[in-house]
Amino acid sequence: MINITPKQAKTIMNQLSKGIVEGIGKDQGGRAWLQGEFELCELEALCVLIRKKAGDNAEGAEEVVEHWENEEKENMRFEKTPQKLDIVVTRHATLIEYLRELDLVDENTKVVRRATSDVISGKHVCGKLPNHLACKCKSFTEIPLVIPLESIGKELSIEQIRKYSKKPRTYVIRSV
């Protein structure tokens, strides 16, 4: 929080600023239209003026970070550790190896190359599925992979899967 008054902020902007403040809006979280160069002290003073004009609509960095933290906490309420999978739909042996490392599959887990409705219905499933099949599963777990462009379409090693994978996400998908 910047501890100066709006009057002090206005004085800073009038006396020090080499830039031009074309306008300050009170909507959209508080905005200012600027031209030219501004030093940190001027920008801090400008923040005070924007907050004064925007009032309750002001949304600075502190509010944005607070929003993100609250959103993250809300998402964590629903996130559970995925349970053991009944079926994995894949042609990639290294994915099965990775799922074993995560303790999501064991020797009883069925592995299929293609999913059919009768095989996955009511089961905990991992793999690539179209929505019309995913909604038949009891739950659907994905292993998000952020793969570099040069590796897309290539068979990945277990080391690459470990490197590119994110935390498993489990969904319950329903048709409406």
- pTM metric for this prediction: 0.54
Q: CB–CB of 99/74 below 8 Å?
A: no
Q: What is the pLDDT of residue 37?
A: 85
pLDDT value, residue 75: 57
Tell me the average confidence (pLDDT) per consecutive run of 10 residues in the chain, 176 residues long: 82 83 75 83 85 76 73 56 86 95 94 94 93 93 90 91 91 87
- The domain ranges of the chain are 6-60, 87-171
**87 touches 125 (CB < 8 A):** yes
> According to the model, what pLDDT value does residue 78 have?
47
Query: What is the pLDDT at residue 120?
Result: 95
In the chain, which ranges are continuous DSSP H helix?
6-16, 40-54, 61-78, 93-101, 117-120, 131-134, 158-164
Sheet of 169-171: strand order equals: 110-112, 87-89, 124-127, 139-142, 169-171
